[in-house]
Amino acid sequence: MDKKSIEHVAMLARLRLSDGEIESLESELNRILGYAEQLSELETDLVEPLAHPSDLTNALRDDLTRPSVPREEIQSNSPKSDGEFYLVPAVLGNANELKK
Amino acid sequence: MSDPAFELIVGLEVHVQLQTQSKLFCGCSTKFGSEPNTQTCPLCTGMPGTLPVLNREALMLSIKTGIALNCEIARFSKWDRKNYFYPDLPKGYQISQFDLPICGPGYLEISDPKGEFKTKKIRLIRAHLEEDAGKSVHDEVSGSADTKIDLNRTGTPLLEIVSEPDIRSPQEAKAYLTELKLLLGYLNVSDCNMQEGSLRVDANVNLHIESNGEKIATPIVEVKNLNSFRAVERALQYESERQFSNWKSDGFTIDDRPKQTVGWNDSEQKTIPQREKEESADYRYFPDPDLVPVVIDGTTIDTIKDTMAELPSAIRNRLESEYQILPYDSDVMVNQGREFVEYFEAVAKESSEGKVASNWMQQNVLQIMKDREMGIEAFPIASHRLANLIKKLTAGELDNSRAKDVFQVLLEKDLDPAVVMKELGIEAVDDSALESICEELLAMNPQVVEDFQAGKKQAIGSLIGQAKKKNPNANPGKVRELLIAIIEKKL
């Protein structure tokens, strides 16, 4: 991981990092990745890919509706709403603004 | 120098909203048009600690669609998270399918009843099940105001059907979408209402240009915001012209430019570059640990197959061979939906007159449905009554124009055509009576005879009107035949 790829991942995660943070993350992340890298030493060619750690399949429910949560109640979780809609900063603005 | 030849290359991604009562992973209603944010719960608003559980019906509808689209149905399918940040996606990821979709490769056959292109198979890459996002309402006037978010749609089941780039013209794209929509309607899988967003189309477009013996591909453009089939046709036409003229001026090929996303602006009739949601769409797919895989066995597939009714392409072929009607006619009727076809078949069987029944369906029945803005299920004439009328018509008991009179009465009264004919005083005129009327008319109108003999065939028309006045039941066709026969005998 170099500075550039850390900036890219931070942008995808919508994290604003200072230069100092990027610097310390660089060595930290590389240590973590190096640790995980040990796994690549294993011979996995004959191992079937695992889609899920559990053996369960087909956990299904019937197509039945259940009451939803009242709007006031669910919207109390949000920082801003107008009683009908959630309100968020205009998303038509430039996504690049989030970078800096 | 003339411009080099080029070919339009199009692949379509169609998102279809499946007709379920509840959402894909929770029990909230999928009903359209409710008050904003009244159909949500902790799960579909992405609260921590919730666990999604797959809707069985959504899975079954996906398999059914896959079978109808000739797809390989996966025996093992799983769920993946597609990560991106957008306010209408509260979890920060969409549950979708990455490498093991429910429906694998398949195809949809398209044809043009007008014969503008040859019947062809549009290959499908896959069809996968995923959850829908919410809806953002942008205040475009002030620009700086908040964006409003409605999460009612969040978690509604969508099937994304992805075609190979096998489409070569706007007409083929329209035919593909029309056939797909018809099929989905026959399957009762989706209502395909484009205004309500039940069917959404994205198009991947570029050109293959033949230049100096080389084949050059222009950069691929993904067109979004296509809100009608007509918009798809126009956007493709527009992109075709735009990409060609761009290539002529800048020479860029697929190797010089990454895929670009544009939106179709219907009022300006052009495509407009869109800001990217993420730089180079880095979705970081990974398996969703909250959902266990889906195993689909042969019995399930066979059971679904057994319950599937006949599909449009099969119905067209059968109507053509069973009732000796033309592809154009079967196409018009099949496009009206299953109930219309069933009504036609009932009339055709009962009257044993497939061709005449087909004509009556397409002309008189469809006209009334259009005028009264009704579906065939509300059409007032029972199929056996119409069949009886057609039998009498083909037996020569009444002519076409009188049959239409009876038809008009049948629309208002639930009566047997024989009764209506009696009420209207319609009875077959025997040939000798008709002949004497014709003789009489010819004797009274020597000028007409002279004109006819001089080659003015249409002169005879006036006598047909007079014959009808003498006896309203006189069949105009027969009168014409008789008049000509008598004149020619006299020669």
Domain-embedded: residue B145: yes
Domain-embedded: residue B305: no
Residues belonging to chain A with any Cβ–Cβ distance to chain B shorter than 8 Å: 8, 11-12, 14, 51-54, 56-66, 68-69, 71, 74-75, 77, 80-82, 84-92, 94-95
Domain-embedded: residue B330: yes
Q: Is the domain of B382 the same as that of B334?
A: yes
**For B21, which of A8, A59, A65 is closest by C-beta distance?**
A65
Domain-embedded: residue A50: no
The answer to whether the CB of B28 falls within 8 A of the CB of B44 is yes
Q: Is the domain of B106 the same as that of B242?
A: yes
Which pLDDT does position B112 carry in this prediction? 84
What is the domain count for chain B?
3
Domain-embedded: residue B304: no
Residues of A with Cβ-Cβ distance to B53 under 8 angstroms: 59-61
Which pLDDT does position B389 carry in this prediction? 96
CA-based nearest residue to B457, from B484, B479, B436: B484
**For A89, which of B59, B85, B146 is closest by C-beta distance?**
B146
pLDDT value at B259 more than 70: yes
Domain-embedded: residue A99: no
Of B280, B299, B318, the domain-final residue? B299
What average pLDDT does the structure give for chain B? 92
Domain-embedded: residue A27: yes
Residue B158 identity = L
Residues of B with Cβ-Cβ distance to A61 under 8 angstroms: 27, 53-56
Q: Is the domain of B391 the same as that of B440?
A: no
Q: Is the domain of B383 the same as that of B480?
A: no
Which strand (E) or helix (H) includes residue B162?
A: strand B157-163
- In degrees, to the nearest 5, what angle opens at C-alpha A83 toward C-alphas A78 and A87? 50
CA-based nearest residue to B155, from B40, B37, B35, B19: B40
Mark yes or no for CB contact B37/A75 under 8 Å: yes
Measure in Å the smallest separation between the Cα of B10 and chain A Cα atoms.
28
Comparing A79-83, A93-97, B220-224, B467-471, the range with the smallest average pLDDT is A93-97
CATH number at residue A34: 1.10.20.60
The pLDDT > 90 percentage for chain B reads 73
Tokens of A65: 């509706």
Which pLDDT does position A98 carry in this prediction? 39
What are B127-173's pLDDT values in tens digits?
999 999 999 988 666 655 789 999 999 999 999 999 999 999 999 99
The answer to whether the CB of B179 falls within 8 A of the CB of B5 is no
Mark yes or no for CB contact B76/A51 under 8 Å: yes
| Alpha carbon B294 to chain centroid, angstroms | 32
Which pLDDT does position B469 carry in this prediction? 84
Of B386, B407, B423, the domain-final residue? B423
Domain-embedded: residue B446: yes
Mark yes or no for CB contact A85/B137 under 8 Å: yes
Q: Is the domain of B452 the same as that of B419?
A: no
What are B349-407's pLDDT values in tens digits?
999 999 999 999 999 999 999 999 999 999 999 999 999 999 999 988 888 888 999 99
Angle between helices B476-490 and B461-470 (to 10 degrees): 120
Mark yes or no for CB contact B148/A87 under 8 Å: yes
Nearest CA in chain B to A66: B27
| Residue A7, domain extent | 1-43
What are B179-188's pLDDT values in tens digits?
999 999 999 9
Strands annotated E in B6-60: 6-17, 54-55
Which pLDDT does position B3 carry in this prediction? 80
Residue B294 identity = V
Domain-embedded: residue B349: yes
DSSP letters of B381-427?
S-HHHHHHHHHHHHTTSS-HHHHHHHHHHHHHS---HHHHHHHTT--
**For B22, which of A12, A65, A81 is closest by C-beta distance?**
A65
Angle between helices B400-412 and B383-394 (to 10 degrees): 160
Tokens of A46: 């004959």
Give CA–CA dist B286/B84, Å, rounded: 12
CA-based nearest residue to B51, from B292, B288, B290, B287: B290
Residues of B with Cβ-Cβ distance to A48 under 8 angstroms: none
Which pLDDT does position B454 carry in this prediction? 85
Q: Is the domain of B106 the same as that of B249?
A: yes
Mark yes or no for CB contact B293/A62 under 8 Å: no
Nearest CA in chain A to B47: A77
Nearest CA in chain A to B150: A85
Q: Is the domain of B410 the same as that of B436?
A: no
Question: Highest mean pLDDT: which of A40-49, A66-75, A87-96?
Answer: A66-75
Residues of B with Cβ-Cβ distance to A75 under 8 angstroms: 37
Mark yes or no for CB contact B56/A60 under 8 Å: yes
Domain-embedded: residue B1: no
Measure in Å the smallest separation between the Cα of A76 and chain B Cα atoms.
12
Residues of B with Cβ-Cβ distance to A60 under 8 angstroms: 53-56, 59
Domain-embedded: residue A72: no
Domain-embedded: residue A10: yes
Domain-embedded: residue A94: no
Q: Is the domain of B186 the same as that of B279?
A: yes
| Disruptive mutation site among A5, A50, A65, A98 for chain B (greatest number of B CBs within 10 Å) | A65
| Interface A-B: count of C-beta contacts within 8 A | 136
Which pLDDT does position B369 carry in this prediction? 96
The pLDDT > 70 percentage for chain B reads 97
Mark yes or no for CB contact B21/A56 under 8 Å: no
Q: Is the domain of B114 the same as that of B237?
A: yes
Domain-embedded: residue B456: yes
DSSP code at position A91: T
Measure in Å the smallest separation between the Cα of A10 and chain B Cα atoms.
12
Measure in Å the smallest separation between the Cα of A42 and chain B Cα atoms.
21
Comparing B18-22, B290-294, B306-310, B431-435, the range with the smallest average pLDDT is B431-435
Q: Which residue has the higher pLDDT, B331 or B280?
A: B331
What are B87-105's pLDDT values in tens digits?
899 999 999 999 999 999 9
Residues of B with Cβ-Cβ distance to A95 under 8 angstroms: 275-278
**For B292, which of A59, A81, A82 is closest by C-beta distance?**
A59
**For A74, which of B40, B57, B292 is closest by C-beta distance?**
B40
Which pLDDT does position B278 carry in this prediction? 46
pLDDT value at A93 more than 90: no
Which pLDDT does position B463 carry in this prediction? 87
**For B59, which of A60, A64, A81 is closest by C-beta distance?**
A60
Residues of A with Cβ-Cβ distance to B97 under 8 angstroms: none
Q: Is the domain of B38 the same as that of B113?
A: yes
Which pLDDT does position B39 carry in this prediction? 98
Mark yes or no for CB contact B293/A52 under 8 Å: yes
CATH number at residue B445: 1.10.10.410
Q: Is the domain of B443 the same as that of B384?
A: no
Q: Is the domain of B258 the same as that of B292?
A: yes
Mark yes or no for CB contact A62/B57 under 8 Å: yes
What is the domain count for chain A?
1
pLDDT value at B424 more than 70: yes
Of B399, B423, B447, the domain-final residue? B423
pLDDT value at B213 more than 60: yes
| Residue B160, domain extent | 6-299
Q: How confident is the model at residue B275 (pLDDT cuts 50, 70, 90)?
A: low
Which pLDDT does position A94 carry in this prediction? 43
